[in-house]
Amino acid sequence: MKTRVTLILLALFLSFNVGFAQQDEECMINITLMSDYAKSKRFDEAYEPFMKVRNNCPKYSYATYAYGDRILKDKIEKATGAEKVAFINDLMKLWDEGLANFPDKYTAGGNLQDKAMLKYDYREALGYGNKQVYDAFDELYKKSPESFTNPKGLYVYFSTIVDMFEAKEVEVQDVFNKYDDVIDKIGQEVDNYTQMLNPLVEKEEAGETLDAKTAQYKKQYESYLDNYEKISGSIDSKLGILANCEVLIPLYKRDFDKYKDDSVWLKRAVNRMFSKECTDDPLYVDLVKAYDASAPSADTKYFVYNLLMKQGKEREAKPYLDQSYDLEKNPLKKAALAMRFGKSLRKQGNLGAARNYFQKSLELNPSNGRAHIEIAQMYAASANSCGDDHFSKRAVFWLAAAEARKAGRVDGNLKSYADGVAANYEGSAPTRAEIFSKGNGGEVIKIGCWIGLSVTVPKI
């Protein structure tokens, strides 16, 4: 009896093993077929083996989801009507299956971002209006803001609420609030990529050569930063005439008593009034004072500084500029603050102090090529004032050109522009014939006034 039971159990065990082996073999065959077809972009032929693997052995290989994504996107592109919608929904379902079966390859936030982009791209096929598109991105922003990194998605998120305002579906304050949310988010992403980029820039500036993989990372970081800059400009354009003094002043006057102790509201109100040049209205003074009283910070001290400068109180204003810089502890924010101060001082004609702040910005953020451009432009603009004779005045342009070329080295997105600026300055410097005539090739020329540097005449 025992022998019989043992034989039965052995037979069952073998049959199960054979079954599993057959299933594994079928999965392997279908994975191979799917992969081969997909690699050669024969997506229609890849669909059947893909669905077999997806349904029969969902945990067998991540390739099911990687290639399945491409296969279903091809189906979506080719389909129309209800079939198109079905494939769109199936692709979103596939992403959820991928998260369940390969959680190391997917994230819930990443899926939300992909779904929001898909809904936007196919909003017409899905019959979605602005509200449904906005809600998809809003869900991502609220549930997983750290995953919301797509520059185009951030633009769509804001652009859609502007469209909703124009359709009288939301209030103008809702648009302003979302603008601030999105700009803050872009700022976070810019800081993130800048922090990753800066060490690579410093290596190159130190004479090191980046390996192929690291150079590719550098290119990617620069690309993201370029995209975020473009998106920021597009968002400002989309905001357009909504954020003008005629709209802002009555709005903030209405809400001032309600929010006069709310530092976030005050910060946003002051920033917008300042950026839109609504600073002549008495309300701006009230906003700045309330902001500085509620949450003294680098920002508040800078706004007080500008307020006093506008009133002609330069001596009283200066300490606020220093306080603003000292209060900021975040290196990248401090670098941005130094840029802001440099530009302000440049407008006032205080070029030496302006350069000092641009250089501080570079110390904190070495990939900030725009600081080099600002310095180069100041050198070029001062050529007639900082040389002793015609030759030395034009020699200043060599300094300007060298500074401009630094911008292109540290910021790949500026290289073409910086090289063009440098070439233009070099065209204004002494010619080879003039150097030959003067016979001073290789000589060091001291540049006076606020520049206080030396430049070596090229040898010919």
pLDDT above 60 for 14: no
Q: What percent of the chain has pLDDT over 70?
A: 95
- pLDDT at residue 7, rounded to an integer: 41
pLDDT above 80 for 178: yes
428-445 residue pLDDT tens: 999 998 888 888 888 999
pLDDT above 80 for 108: yes
- pLDDT at residue 158, rounded to an integer: 96
Q: What is the overall mean pLDDT for the chain?
A: 91
- pLDDT at residue 6, rounded to an integer: 46
117-169 residue pLDDT tens: 999 999 999 999 999 999 999 999 999 999 999 999 999 999 999 999 999 99
What is the domain partition of the chain in residue ranges?
A: 127-238
393-452 residue pLDDT tens: 999 999 999 999 999 999 999 999 999 999 999 999 999 988 888 888 889 999 989 999
- pLDDT at residue 440, rounded to an integer: 83
Q: What is the 3-state secondary structure (H, E, C) of the chain?
A: CHHHHHHHHHHHHHHHHHHHHHHHHHHHHHHHHHHHHHHCCCHHHHHHHHHHHHHHCCCCCCHHHHHHHHHHHHHHHHCCHHHHHHHHHHHHHHHHHHHHHCCCCCCHHHHHHHHHHHHHHCHHHHCCCHHHHHHHHHHHHHHCHHHCCCHHHHHHHHHHHHHHHHCCCCCHHHHHHHHHHHHHHHHHHHHHHHHHHHHHHHHHHCCCCCCHHHHHHHHHHHHHHHHHHHHHHHHHHHHHHHHCHHHHHHHHHHHHHHHCCCHHHHHHHHHHHHHCCCCCCHHHHHHHHHHHHHCCCHHHHHHHHHHHHHCCCHHHHHHHHHHHHHHCCCHHHHHHHHHHHHHHHHHCCCHHHHHHHHHHHHHHCCCCHHHHHHHHHHHHHCCCCCCCCHHHHHHHHHHHHHHHHHHHHHCHHHHHHHHHHHHHHHHHCCCHHHHHHHCCCCCEEEECCCCCEEEECCCC
What is the reported pTM? 0.77
- pLDDT at residue 94, rounded to an integer: 98
* Mean predicted confidence (pLDDT) in 255-274: 92
- pLDDT at residue 321, rounded to an integer: 87
22-71 residue pLDDT tens: 567 899 999 999 999 999 999 999 999 999 999 999 999 999 999 999 99
- Where does the pLDDT of residue 18 fall: very low under 50, low under 70, confident under 90, or very high at 90 and above? very low
